[in-house]
């Protein structure tokens, strides 16, 4: 028999994949060009020619495939630290950087390092559903706090009211999955003031895989500059279109309490969780492409096109500032029921309930422009029933 906890979680975590599988069945039945699948956030651009050339130039370098420090190559960490220092205006050194197996690996490393059984982790709803499982992996308890209605910005007062003596961390995700919202600097400073008044350290864990995918001149505020006890986690899955390579980093603020002990714990967790170290070749590759973003203009064009399709069909929808998701309001309260109805029109999307925010829908637009454009008629037909 498998673990009872894992068995229970299998039932809770199958909703995105279930919709994806439904989409696969529809494609077999009606042809891929006649199905409008918005279910998965899998970057559709290929890595740039420059990235591929870097891979080819490094793959035969002697020693590149050997073990290194569990924290990663020293020279790569130095480059990441210099880049982060320039962006945040906080002096970061290589000793504050741990290279990890993507943002998911980084989150597990951090949570393993800080959580005791029963410690609470605040997440902002709607939130990436895996946060719950990552937290529970290490004995923690997720405490969802709803974002502000409409804007999906942080509700600082609600966060303040949710903090207890068991609160160990807050996970922020900006630009946000699933809303595309970028939390503004004033609101983040207000939250920092709240945390300064708490009687114990509360870590701010900033999950930033979409930090470079932003539109219309929007800037993502520097978390390291705003919060004393902050840990930034990033990956190159989205910005460089490398989700399968599992490469990212964690940066611990030099101002964190017990910063050196925390870093030692993270390096230990990186090893003992079984990652051992981040992929060696990919560490070298990303170090040469830290400023690059793949597909940004295409994502913006797809955002604008999908927003136009949805609004034209009659959805209430906020245009996102970043990432590659749209989060319109469901025309009926039961978002799961609406998602099932959409399948009848060959539209595959995911209900907001799975993100801790019922009554909404998540659509990923990292898909072909043809799919977005050709979905217009299907969305209009679907929404006739609800107008």
Q: Could you tell me if 24 and 61 lie in one domain?
A: no
Whether residue 29 has pLDDT greater than 90? no
Which helix (H) or strand (E) is 19 found in, with range?
helix 15-30
Domain boundary among 287, 320, 349: 287
- Domains contained in the chain, number: 2
Residue owning tokens 């793949």: 294
Per-residue model confidence (pLDDT) at position 12: 66
Distance of alpha carbon 39 from alpha carbon 51, whole angstroms: 27
Distance of alpha carbon 8 from alpha carbon 163, whole angstroms: 28
Beta strand spans in the chain (E): 36-37, 97-100, 120-125, 141-146, 167-173, 203-207, 230-235, 248-252, 325-326, 347-348, 350-351, 361-364
Q: Could you tell me if 268 and 140 lie in one domain?
A: yes
Q: Could you tell me if 12 and 37 lie in one domain?
A: yes
Residue owning tokens 């160990």: 168
Q: Could you tell me if 25 and 69 lie in one domain?
A: no
Domain CATH number, residue 304 = 3.90.1150.10
Q: Could you tell me if 311 and 361 lie in one domain?
A: yes
357: exposed, middle or buried (Cβ count in 10 Å: 0-12, 13-18, 19+): buried
Q: Could you tell me if 166 and 88 lie in one domain?
A: yes
Per-residue model confidence (pLDDT) at position 40: 80
Instruction: Give the tens place of pLDDT for each residue, 84-132.
Output: 999 999 999 999 999 999 999 999 999 999 999 999 999 999 999 999 9
Once rounded to an integer, what is the mean pLDDT over residues 75-86?
Answer: 98
Q: Which of 184, 164, 174 is nearest to 122 (CA)?
A: 164
Q: Number of C-alpha atoms within 13 angstroms, CB side, residue 70?
A: 16
Q: Could you tell me if 8 and 69 lie in one domain?
A: no
Structural domain containing residue 368: 4-47+294-384
Q: Could you tell me if 43 and 53 lie in one domain?
A: no
Domain boundary among 242, 257, 287: 287
**pLDDT-based confidence at residue 168 (cuts at 50, 70, 90):** very high
CB atoms under 10 Å from CB of 385, counted, come to 12
Domain CATH number, residue 176 = 3.40.640.10
pTM for the model: 0.95
Domain boundary among 287, 317, 350: 287
Q: Could you tell me if 154 and 230 lie in one domain?
A: yes
């Amino acid at each position: 028999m498998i673990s009872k906890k894992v068995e229970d979680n299998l039932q809770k975590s199958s909703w995105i994949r279930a919709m994806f599988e439904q989409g696969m069945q529809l494609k077999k039945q009606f042809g891929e060009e006649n199905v409008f699948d918005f279910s998965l956030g899998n970057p559709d651009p290929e890595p740039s020619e420059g990235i591929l050339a870097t891979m080819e130039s490094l793959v035969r370098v002697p020693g590149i495939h050997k073990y290194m420090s569990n924290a990663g190559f020293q020279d790569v960490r130095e480059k990441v630290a210099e880049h982060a220092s320039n962006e945040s205006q906080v002096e970061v050194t290589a000793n504050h950087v741990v290279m990890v197996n993507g943002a998911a690996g980084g989150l597990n490393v951090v949570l393993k390092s800080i959580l005791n059984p029963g410690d609470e982790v605040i997440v902002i709803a709607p939130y990436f559903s895996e946060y719950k499982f990552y937290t529970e992996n290490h004995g923690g308890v997720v405490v969802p706090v709803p974002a502000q209605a409409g804007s999906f910005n942080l509700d600082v007062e609600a966060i303040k009211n949710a903090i207890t003596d068991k609160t160990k961390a807050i996970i922020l995700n900006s630009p946000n999955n699933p809303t595309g919202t970028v939390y503004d600097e004033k609101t983040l400073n207000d939250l920092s003031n709240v945390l300064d008044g708490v009687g114990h350290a509360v870590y701010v864990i900033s999950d930033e895989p979409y930090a470079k995918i932003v539109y219309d001149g929007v800037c993502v505020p520097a978390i390291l500059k705003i919060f004393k006890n902050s840990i930034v986690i990033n990956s190159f899955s989205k910005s460089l279109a490398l989700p399968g390579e599992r490469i990212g980093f964690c940066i611990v603020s030099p101002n964190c309490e017990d910063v050196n002990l925390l870093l030692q714990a993270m390096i230990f967790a990186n090893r003992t969780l079984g990652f051992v170290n981040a992929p060696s070749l990919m560490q070298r590759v990303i170090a040469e492409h830290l400023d690059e973003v793949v597909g940004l203009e295409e994502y913006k064009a797809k955002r604008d096109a999908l927003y136009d399709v949805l609004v034209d069909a009659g959805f209430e929808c906020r245009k996102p500032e970043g990432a590659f998701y749209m989060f319109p309001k469901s025309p009926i309260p039961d978002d799961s029921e609406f998602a099932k109805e959409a399948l009848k029109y060959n539209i595959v999307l995911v209900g907001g309930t799975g993100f801790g925010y019922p009554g909404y829908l998540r659509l990923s637009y990292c898909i072909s422009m043809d799919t977005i454009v050709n979905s217009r008629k299907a969305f209009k037909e679907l929404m006739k029933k609800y107008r």
